[in-house]
C-alpha cells in the first residue's frame, strides 16, 4: 500500500475487491481481473487474494509492469 504521507509514491497496479464467490484481484489501470497462466484471478479467498496483490505489485514495481504469469 502506498504511504499517504508520500504524495510522490506511485499508485499500486493491482488491488482486490469482493466478488460473488470471494475476491477478485484486478489491474487498477484497466479494471480487468489479473490473469495468472491465463486464468482470471476471481473467487479467491481473502488471504490468497491479498498475497497475490502483494506479489503482483512487487513484480510490477521491479519490471515496470512488463511481466506475465
pLDDT for 57 beyond 70? yes
Residue 66 lies in a domain: no
Cell output for 54: 502483494
Domain span at 40: 14-61
- Predicted confidence at residue 7, as pLDDT, reads 52
- Predicted confidence at residue 63, as pLDDT, reads 85
Q: 51-61 burial, b if ≥16 CB within 10 A, otherwise e?
A: ebbeebbebbe
- Predicted confidence at residue 28, as pLDDT, reads 95
- Predicted confidence at residue 1, as pLDDT, reads 44
Helices (H), 3-65: 46-63
pLDDT for 4 beyond 90? no
User: How does residue 3 score in pLDDT terms, banded at 50, 70 and 90?
Assistant: low
Residue 19 lies in a domain: yes
Residue 8 lies in a domain: no
Residue 7 lies in a domain: no
Amino acid at each position: 500500500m502506498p504511504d499517504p504521507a508520500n504524495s510522490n509514491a506511485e499508485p499500486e497496479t493491482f488491488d482486490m475487491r469482493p466478488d460473488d464467490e470471494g475476491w477478485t484481484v484486478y489491474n487498477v489501470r484497466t479494471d480487468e481481473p489479473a490473469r495468472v497462466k491465463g486464468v482470471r484471478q476471481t473467487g479467491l479467498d481473502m488471504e490468497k487474494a491479498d498475497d497475490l496483490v502483494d506479489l503482483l505489485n512487487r513484480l510490477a514495481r521491479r519490471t515496470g509492469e512488463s511481466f506475465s504469469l
